[in-house]
Amino acid sequence: MVRQRQDYFDALGWVTQLMTQVRSEHLEARTPCVDFDVRGLLGHLIGTAHRGLGTARGIPTRGIPHVITSVPDAELASTYATLAASIREAWSPLAASDGVIAPWGPCTAAEAAGGFTVETITHGWDLAVASGQPSDAPNGIADRCLSYAAAAIPDRLRGVMYDAPVVGAKPSSTTEQLARLLGHKREPR
């Protein structure tokens, strides 16, 4: 669990850093994730962080919106940073085998941390590409996510939560490879 939890924490830190560099002119830019412009993606990342926090605390996450729209633009990065700190605190006492209820169903804490890491890194890549920032996740996180992400995404979620994997040109990094596995491609749509 130590590795999965640290990867999740590092993913949260990377996205926090990316968010602090987003300027107001980026907010309406399209992202590689077909569902979002940058503003919507930031709201989705905040919603995902709320679900990660709820999962660790044993709070049902079903009612948490997919995209949080109530945060003023000027407070998006600081809101996410506060959530990331709360997530670190809530996840720290969990053991790998502890049972949790993630948004996708019952699993172990280690599996949930892995799932949230994949989601956070993939959308971090989206944000980096859309805002012109370096898009390779730190500390080899994407490499480790690739080792389990394909198995962790059931076919029943393709076309619902995730698009079909993007095939074609060789990805420039393992972070982009992970994003392509989840159906994201470099060209904003």
| pLDDT for the residue 114 | 94
Query: Tokens 């399209």 belong to which residue?
Result: 30
189 pLDDT above the threshold of 50: no
10 token code pair: 């590092």
Residues in the chain: 189
Span 45-74, pLDDT tens digits: 999 999 999 999 999 999 999 999 999 999
How far are the Cα atoms of 6, 44, 58 from residue 110, in angstroms, in the given order?
Answer: 11, 22, 15
Q: What is the pLDDT of residues 139-178, one digit of tens each?
A: 999 999 988 877 666 555 545 565 656 677 677 788 888 8
Give CA 48 to chain center in angstroms: 7
Q: What is the CATH number of domain 2-181?
A: 1.20.120.450
Q: What is the pLDDT of residue 147?
A: 87
Q: Where are the domains of the chain?
A: 2-181
Nearest alpha-carbon partner for 36 in 174, 141, 163, 137: 163
Sign of dihedral through CA atoms 49, 9, 121, 177? negative
Confidence (pTM): 0.91
- Quick one: DSSP state of residue 153? S
What does the pLDDT average to over 4-8? 94
Percentage above 70 pLDDT, the chain = 88
The answer to whether residues 41 and 31 touch, using CB atoms and an 8 Å cutoff, is yes
